[in-house]
Amino acid sequence: MCEVGQTAHCETTQKAVYGFGTSFGDLNGTHTEALILPHAEGHVIKVPDSIDDASALTLSCNLPSDIIANKLADIQPSENVAIIGCGPTGLLTMDIALGKSAGQVICIDQLDYRLAIAAKKGATTINSTKAGWKESALSLTNGRGFDKVIEVVGYPDALQICLDIIRPGGTITAIGVFCDQEFNLALADVSLRDISLHMNGFANVQPCMWQGIHLMDQGVITPSEYFTHEFNLDDIDLAFETFDKKSDTALKMLIKP
């Protein structure tokens, strides 16, 4: 599986992910001062000194997932793109997409402070809790729907938004991690509208790390700007609480040992 780029499905490590327990390889966690890295020769990569520590942390999942999302969406010049979810991963996905599309790039979220960040970067923003949000979104495409929609949430409601605003023949790329067992997918609708649906909740990180390093090293993106809070390891409980409750305009937590 690794040889074909599916490193997330490694048969040697049994899909090992640090801190995910016995279901994914039974590796130890990374919220510690030090740890042993088994199979390090297969996935450790040297980070240039030009990249700050906070940005480098995003190579573990966020940034490779963003690269994968944009690859699967295959955004073409002039296409209209919608991104569902304005967390750190969604915003980094937006950063890459803004450099690829000359059409509309819109971000949809429920939190105004996150939408404000996207708007500052040049995206059109829509709050999905407001009445008439769908009509507002579709009006940006003359009612046709978006060419590409990227989902970065992992909830059924977010996937439904994708289906509601995609145009016939469009592509949906869902990189959110879905834990729900069922979803009411109307097969006739997806089939007869010729919709392409990519699900990628378990990112093949390693093959995209070098691209992420190149993007940061060349100054195309700066992931460290999305770290809003810094905590010591002793205060990790407060870090998780701040992130979970989205308090104090939280985006991404930086935890130092």
State the CB neighbour count (10 A cutoff) for residue 159. 23
168-211: per-residue pLDDT in tens? 999 999 999 998 999 999 999 999 999 999 999 888 999 999 99
Report pLDDT for 176. 95
pLDDT range class, residue 38, cuts 50, 70, 90: confident
Q: Which domains does the chain have, with CATH numbers?
A: 2-54+204-256 (3.90.180.10), 62-199 (3.40.50.720)
Q: In this structure, are strands 146-151 and 166-174 parallel, antiparallel, or unpaired?
A: parallel
First to last CA, the chain: 34
Task: Please name the amino acid found at residue 203.
Answer: A
Structural contact between residues 250 and 228, judged by C-beta atoms closer than 8 angstroms: yes
Task: Tokens 């040697």: give the residue.
Answer: 12
**Is pLDDT of 105 > 90?**
yes
